[in-house]
Amino acid sequence: MSQITILLLYLLAAVAFMASRLPRFSARARPLFVIACILSATGIVMHAEALLSFVLPGGGFDLSIGNAVALIGLELAAIALLASLEPALRGMSGGMILLAAAATVFMGPAGDPAAGLQIAWQVRAHILVALASYGLLSVGTIVAIFALIQENRLRAARISAVNQLFAPLETTEKLLFAVAAAGFIGLTLAIVSGSTFVNDLLQQHLAHKFALSVLAWLVFGILLAGRFFSGWRGKRAVHLYLGGYLLLCLAYFGSRVILEVVFGRSWS
C-alpha cells in the first residue's frame, strides 16, 4: 500500500513541477511549485522509510536488484527536489521524479536476510558509495538526454510551450559536467574502496565487474579532461557520457543479472 502511495505522490509532484514551467499555468506557477515540493518531499520520506525496512530487515543487509534500483530512484527524487530550487530546472526535475516513481515498483523484500549478517560493514559502505555515485551519474544521463532532445528541437526550429520544460542548453551542459565530476569522484572512491576487500577477482566473480567499472571510470575521466582542457561540449560530449554510463550499467546490473539470474551465483 505504501508503494502505491509513494508512486502517486511522485506522479502528482512530477505533473506539478512540469505544469509550473508551462506558460499556460504561469499565474499559478508558485503555488504549483510549492505543492510539488510538498508532494515530492513526502514521497521521499516514505520512500526512504520503506526502503530502509527492505534493505535492513532485522539487522540484515538485503540489497537485491530491485532494492538497488529503488535506492537509485530515491537519490533521483532527492536530487530532483534540490534542483527544482532553480526555476529553469523544474521541468527536468519533473522528469527525474517520474523515473523515481517507476523505480519504486521494484522495491520489496528479496533474498535471505540471515545471509546479510555475514556482510562486513566495509563491504556495505562500499556498496552504498558505489550506488550513490551510480545515482549521480544516472542523473547526468537524464540531463544528457534532455540536452540531446533540446538540441534536436532547436536545430529543427521547433519552438513551442514545451521548450519551457527545458533549461537553456548552456545551463544543461554545465549541470551535466558538474554531475559528471561529482559522479567521477564517487566512482573513484567506489573502485578504491572495493579493491581493499577483493581477494581474488576470478574466484569472487568480480573480474568482469571490475574491468567494466574501470573502463567507465576512464571514459568519464577522458570526458572531464576534454571539457577542462579543450572545452568539449555538444553531442560529442553527450555521446561520450552516455557511453561511459552504459559501461557502468553493464558493470553493475548486467553482470549481476547474468550471475544471479542466469547462473544462479553471487559476487561474494
**Which tens digit of pLDDT belongs to each residue from 119-174?**
666 677 777 788 888 888 988 888 888 888 877 777 776 666 666 777 778 888 88
Residue-wise pLDDT tens digits, 73-105: 998 899 899 989 989 889 889 989 999 999 999
- Residues 199, 68 share a domain: no
Domain stops at, among 94, 111, 128:
111
Domain with 263, as residue range(s), is 120-268
Say how many CA atoms lie within 13 Å of 195 toward its Cβ.
9
Confidence band, pLDDT 50/70/90 cuts, at residue 267: very low
Which of 77, 94, 111 lies at the terminal end of a domain, its last residue? 111
Residues 1 and 106 in one domain: yes
* Domain match, 13 and 88 both: yes
How many domains, in total, are found in the chain? 2
**pLDDT, the chain, mean:** 81
Highest mean pLDDT among 92-96, 202-206, 218-222, 263-267: 218-222
In terms of domains, do 127 and 208 share one?
yes
207: amino acid identity, one letter: A
